[in-house]
Chains A and B, each alone.
Chain A
Amino acid sequence: MDTDLGEYEMLGSIKGMFVTLKSTFKKPVTDQYPNKRRPVEARYMGFPALTWDYEVIEPYCTACMVCIRDCPTQCMTASMKDNVLYKEEKSHRRKIVDKFEINLNRCILCGICVEVCNFDAIVMSHEHEMSVHERNGDRVDLIELLDMGKRFQRDTKWIPPSQLKKRSSVSDKPPIVSPPDKDGI
């Protein structure tokens, strides 16, 4: 190696040691994980969960299958049933979710299901520690999903996004630009 270092021989390692020495007296920034957990950001996308309508006492979800069709990994299944509360005129939902299952091992946390949902029924919760002992332990059913959703609603004081939109002024909606080609969209 013919790199000319000249008088700088050994200076580099001394400089490196000096940096190490400086860091020795700094307060460590490491969090001791199981004892102390860092809070996640407000927009954090954890595993999907279903929300609970506390006004009517039923889930928001009507099992309309929009999220299931748009999921890139096909990790969800659902079925619907007639809503008993609708017949008693307590609810405006004609149909209601009967079964809902998400295989969280397949879920890639992309958030597309939340974007396409028309009923504010699904949210990306803040849960991310879902290790289980069984191979199929991460297949969560409706009850578990609603529990996750209720925890999320309680922790973040969740307001349905459609209500948020109604509250804020209508003028900040993006203008709809029609593309030049009518086959475009």
Chain B
Amino acid sequence: MVSYDDVPISDSSSEFDMLLNMGPQHPSTHGVFRMLLKIDGEVVTHAEPHIGYLHRGSERLTEVEQYHQVVTLMDRLDYLSNFNNEWVYCRAVEKLIGVEIPERAEYIRVILGELNRIASHLLFIGTFGLDIGAMTPVMFAFRGRERIQGLFESVSGARMMHNYFHIGGLKEDLPENFSDNISQLILRLREDIEETDRLLSFNELFVSRTKGVGIISKDLAIDYGWTGPGLRACGVRYDVRKSEPYSVYDRFDFKIPTTLDGDCWDRYFVRVMEMYESLSIVEQALEQMPEGPVNVLGRRLVRPPKNDVYMKAENPRGEIGIYLISDGSDKPYRLKVRPPSFCNLSALKELITDSYVADAVVILGSLDIVLGEVDR
């Protein structure tokens, strides 16, 4: 147990310093995250983040589950981008056993992965607005997210824990009414995103709360291992989909939005721009999608040869990495996840120190962490 005495008291602290325990049930911590703040008036002089409240031992559990059962555990890492997690794990196992999955399956994976990115960013925008005190955007954002999840339900049968990507392709082909559903969805989704964008992005109350708050420099962000929208907000044009294109991403024409300042507003705005790009990727993928089979392995027991593999992909929150060691049996010997949320969260102490308490909430919100992935 960490007690209040564990927080180091620096020489500069006055006797008026107060310790404030924020979380683990605080709504703005987006889960079970706890911070111990030392505050002098309204200024945070020291912050001590505590994680581990949602530790479920996912990495250990993979060692006692067969390869096809591990997909269900990957769903539960970052529970806002389930398809992307399943995707990177399936790619890792497919590389181990050396199978190429059918083109149609690749395209369906891209479509669902990008829609999941939009759903995740929409939830970020809604909750980020809530952190600041804007009550309306969350309603608009959740309406859009609800539509995406309705589509996911019709495809995979579940709204969040899909278990739809299988090793060697997909569980089954798309439903018959998919093309109608998705063309309607894209139209409505574009309206939803534009509406949320108009409502929030350049609202001066929003801008004055977020612009110039929680600035991180390019070098520091790289030092902390930041990836994803947080890093791109500092002006680093790094995206795994472009730098090392996986799946069929090299066939699409899309941009990587970047901004220069690296503050909370930039981290927000990069995500808004990314949603438009994701939407265009979905449209392109729908045009190019071929007919054909979606699975090459069926449901045969997978037994990869003795080897290890590291596979990375661009999740909504940054670069996720899967390091997988196989000992030739039907269960992984070891599976290590490099979670983007965890690496982004590591810079929190640096960002929060010397900011206001109210801004601490904004900064934490702008990092867009998912505790299921931080603690695993």
Contact = CB atoms under 8 A, between A and B. Distances in A.
Interface of A: 1-3, 5, 8-13, 15-16, 19-20, 29, 40-45, 70, 72, 108-112, 115-116, 124, 173-177, 179-181, 183-185
Interface string B174-213: 0100000000000000000001001100111111100110
Interface of B: 65-66, 68-69, 72-73, 97-100, 102, 134, 136, 143, 150, 153-158, 161, 163, 171, 175, 195, 198-199, 202-208, 211-212, 293-305, 328
Give chain A's interface secondary structure class: loop
A41 B163 CA distance: 16
Contacts of B163: 110-112
B69 A112 contact: yes
Contact of B98 (A12, A44, A180): A180
3 shortest A-B CB distances, which residue pairs?
A174-B293, A12-B203, A45-B157
A109 B202 CA distance: 42
Give chain B's interface secondary structure class: loop
B54 to A, nearest CB: 16
Nearest to B151: A41
Given A41-B154, A70-B69, A72-B69, 20 more contacts: A3-B207, A15-B199, A19-B136, A20-B136, A41-B150, A43-B153, A43-B157, A45-B157, A70-B66, A110-B161, A110-B163, A112-B69, A115-B171, A124-B157, A174-B294, A174-B298, A175-B293, A183-B303, A185-B97, A185-B302
Given A5-B208, A19-B136, A41-B154, A183 B203 contact: no
A9 B300 contact: no
Given A70-B69, A181-B305, A40 B206 contact: no
Contact of B208 (A1, A115, A177): A1
15 contacts: A12-B202, A16-B199, A19-B136, A43-B154, A43-B156, A44-B158, A110-B72, A111-B171, A177-B296, A180-B98, A181-B305, A184-B99, A184-B304, A184-B305, A185-B303
Contacts, number: 114
B175 A42 contact: yes
Choose among A29, A110, A173 the residue with the greatest number of B CB atoms under 10 Å from its CB: A110
Contacts of A180: 98
A124 B164 CA distance: 14
A72 B299 CA distance: 15
Given A108-B161, A179-B98, A5 B207 contact: yes
A70 B65 CA distance: 9
A185 B98 contact: no
Contacts of A181: 97-98, 305
A92 to B, nearest CB: 24
